[in-house]
Structure 1
Amino acid sequence: MTPGQTVDDLFLLANANQAQSKNGPYWNITFQDATGSIDGKIWSPKSLEYPTLEPGQMARVKGFVESYRDKNQLKVDHMDLLETSHPDVDLADFLPTSSTPPEELMEAIEDLVTEHMKHKPWKIFCKRVLGNEEVRTKLLTAPGAKTVHHAYVGGLLEHSLQVARACMALCTVYPHLDRQTLLAGAIFHDLGKAWELSGGLANDYTDEGRLFGHIQIGMEKLEPFLKKSRHLDEDLKLHFKHLITSHHGEHEFGSPVRPKTPEAFVLHFADNMDAKLNIIDQAYADMDKTGAQWSPYMRFLERNVFRPTTTPDSSQKKNAKPENQCLLPLKA
């Protein structure tokens, strides 16, 4: 969307909250479809026609795009709410999805287990968790976050796979690391997010997610599998639990404990790195639409980001436009 563009289309209301200005109440809304999202406004007196609006509702929206503080927003002239069962509504059109199908992401994670898990109890544990019907169903649709990074169907699997790959690469650089315990921690560090977030159209925090958070939920989901793993040494289980509970790094970032082993530090930094690179990837995708070199100010990174000129690759076709792609190939 570009400033001045008129809009007449279907959207999902990803967020909706009412605020007050000197001219009366107005609505702040985030409109979403599978291609992305845009913030919007319904100003008074038009806002009075909508006494209540809820995330997850569908709407046909008429209005135009304007620029506010270097960011596009949608000014709504008229909006009709629709039921999700309406014949014009195909839910797949409104849920952003990983560029790699979730089934392929799951297969890639299972390939990592096959390749790196040489200790049979670790391999059995990982395959038992990934093969559990409830866990597998949740993982195949779970987003990686509500809004910040990997906030789309398959986002949790994509993030877990990238963190696991980064950890395995660092094990090659630092061979003293416990590769197998680290891999188990990387694969399951965010498992609780599959229950912390509802996913689906609204993708909001569940009651369980608000009350406990994904770290505690993840530990509760993993504990029955750990108890069944009688041949897995208790010291390995203890270290694995530490990786899960310390991966946020610092108390102010929601970590119950701080990393206290080399593997815990590696997991924390790999997790943080992948989240930030995904945020930058999304910013670059928006910048591609306008040709900008600088992004707007990004609150979660506390800075603008810049797209630098990349070094030419002689193996690429001359004058070919370089692509930004943080995702590693699925197959080596």
Structure 2
Amino acid sequence: MKYINELHEGNKMTGVYLCKHKQPAVTKNGKSYENVILQDKTGTIDAKIWEPNSVGIADFDSLDYIDVVGDVTSFAGALQVSIKRARKVKEGEYNPADYLPASKFNIETMYAELLQFIRTVKNPYFSQLLSYYFEMDTELIKAFKNSSAAKNVHHGFIGGLLEHTLGVTRLCDYYAKAYPILNRDLLITSAIFHDIGKTKELSAFPQNDYTDDGQLLGHIMIGAEMIHDAAQKIPGFPEKLEHELKHCILAHHGELEYGSPKKPALAEALALNLADNTDAKMETMKEIFENAGDNNGWLGYNRIFESNLRRSSEE
């Protein structure tokens, strides 16, 4: 078995993979086929079963582990697998640790660094709020360490939420030093809290899919509610500070069409939006290049960046 990040166009895929998603579809000509997403710890790859009723294709469902034989091709600049044979495997034929993508960085080391940032916050109300969730809430801490930051766009792996939050917090720490107009305590607190709602928006791996709360409310609203709930338990928490912090959370996607209920009205909200966008986009670009393997040429049009992409020259 080759890991997904080792596959290249023209390879034969053989081995056990997690079926992250499976859905029937129909071509423009009315022919039935199945869309499949295969996953291992290095990432995911799109796959198609063009002959779903053939002898070599046994029954399996989403979140089953399947033994696959297929051809690796390329479509629209991305690798894709044409599955020829597939069967559901039994427990004991695979090691689950091989199929859950995880951060390349040590989770406990990252969390220790996040706690260091928390301890630099001087405002007593923000400090208590951060401690309430990130030092005392053991259930939240466990979820925060193991959650992804997205279903599939960026940081979509175990530890991804922590890695992304730390990246955003580092950028905000730099902004606070570079631009004295910024209230550092508000900015650092909002950076650490900005995606906390994703602990409830997305289910745990291997599903890593939207929960009912995620579908109905979304992580931005969930995060603002979590801040309000905790602030109510801290005696004397100023309403003005709560509203400013919640505004940063509500505006951190920057634009209404990107899911923000509000556009940034505070300098700290603007800085948070820029940091969030920077970390998300740079990680997305990194993952695109990693998935491209040794391909140093043009990778084709990418809908996220609305551009044809390639790596820069080394010389």
TM-based fold match above 0.5: yes
Preserved contact between residue 24 and residue 45 of structure 1 (Cα < 8 Å): no
* One-letter code aligned to 2:151: K
What is the rounded CA distance, in whole Å, between the counterparts of 1:169 and 1:206 in structure 2? 34
Counterpart of 1:196? Answer: 201
Counterpart of 1:306? Answer: 310
Counterpart of 1:35? Answer: 42
1:122-201 correspondence runs (5 A): 122-131=126-135, 132-201=137-206
What is the rounded CA distance, in whole Å, between the counterparts of 1:308 and 1:265 in structure 2? 30
Q: Secondary structure at the match of 1:240?
A: helix
Relative to 1, partners in 2 of residues 1:60 and 1:135: Cα closer, same or farther, differing over 3 Å? same
Counterpart of 1:19? Answer: 25
What is the rounded CA distance, in whole Å, between the counterparts of 1:42 and 1:294 in structure 2? 28
Q: Secondary structure at the match of 2:301?
A: coil
Please report how far the alpha carbon of residue 50 of structure 1 lies from its aligned counterpart in structure 2 after TM superposition.
6.3
Please report how far the alpha carbon of residue 310 of structure 1 lies from its aligned counterpart in structure 2 after TM superposition.
5.6
Q: Secondary structure at the match of 1:63?
A: strand
Q: Secondary structure at the match of 1:228?
A: coil
1:169-318 correspondence runs (5 A): 169-287=174-292, 289-309=293-313
Please report how far the alpha carbon of residue 249 of structure 1 lies from its aligned counterpart in structure 2 after TM superposition.
1.1
Preserved contact between residue 293 and residue 308 of structure 1 (Cα < 8 Å): no
* Cα distance per residue 1:13-47 (max 9 Å; x no partner): 12221111337311111111001221111112546
* One-letter code aligned to 2:123: H
- Once the two structures are overlaid, the 10-residue window that deviates more, 130-139 or 52-61, is 52-61
Preserved contact between residue 34 and residue 50 of structure 2 (Cα < 8 Å): yes
Q: Secondary structure at the match of 1:27?
A: strand
Q: Of the candidates 10, 19, 34, which is equivalent to residue 4 of structure 1?
A: 10
Preserved contact between residue 12 and residue 33 of structure 1 (Cα < 8 Å): yes
Please report how far the alpha carbon of residue 238 of structure 1 lies from its aligned counterpart in structure 2 after TM superposition.
1.5
What RMSD over aligned residues (CA atoms) do the two structures have, in Å?
2.0
What is the rounded CA distance, in whole Å, between the counterparts of 2:221 and 2:236 in structure 1? 24
Q: Percent identity?
A: 33
What is the rounded CA distance, in whole Å, between the counterparts of 1:18 and 1:307 in structure 2? 35
What is the rounded CA distance, in whole Å, between the counterparts of 2:268 and 2:55 in structure 1? 55
Please report how far the alpha carbon of residue 68 of structure 1 lies from its aligned counterpart in structure 2 after TM superposition.
2.7
- Once the two structures are overlaid, the 10-residue window that deviates more, 168-177 or 36-45, is 36-45
Preserved contact between residue 56 and residue 86 of structure 2 (Cα < 8 Å): no
* Cα distance per residue 1:262-306 (max 9 Å; x no partner): 00111111111111001001112123x224143332222222223
Preserved contact between residue 23 and residue 44 of structure 1 (Cα < 8 Å): no
Q: Secondary structure at the match of 2:271?
A: helix
Number of residue pairs matched by the alignment? 307
* Cα distance per residue 1:93-144 (max 9 Å; x no partner): 1111011122222111101112x21223322221221021121111011000
Counterpart of 1:63? Answer: 70
Q: Of the candidates 81, 101, 117, which is equivalent to residue 88 of structure 2?
A: 81
Preserved contact between residue 142 and residue 154 of structure 1 (Cα < 8 Å): yes
Query: Which runs of 5 or more structure 2 residues have no equivalent in the other structure?
Result: 1-6
What is the rounded CA distance, in whole Å, between the counterparts of 1:101 and 1:52 in structure 2? 38
* One-letter code aligned to 1:4: G
- Once the two structures are overlaid, the 10-residue window that deviates more, 87-96 or 15-24, is 15-24
TM-score (norm: length of structure 2)? 0.91
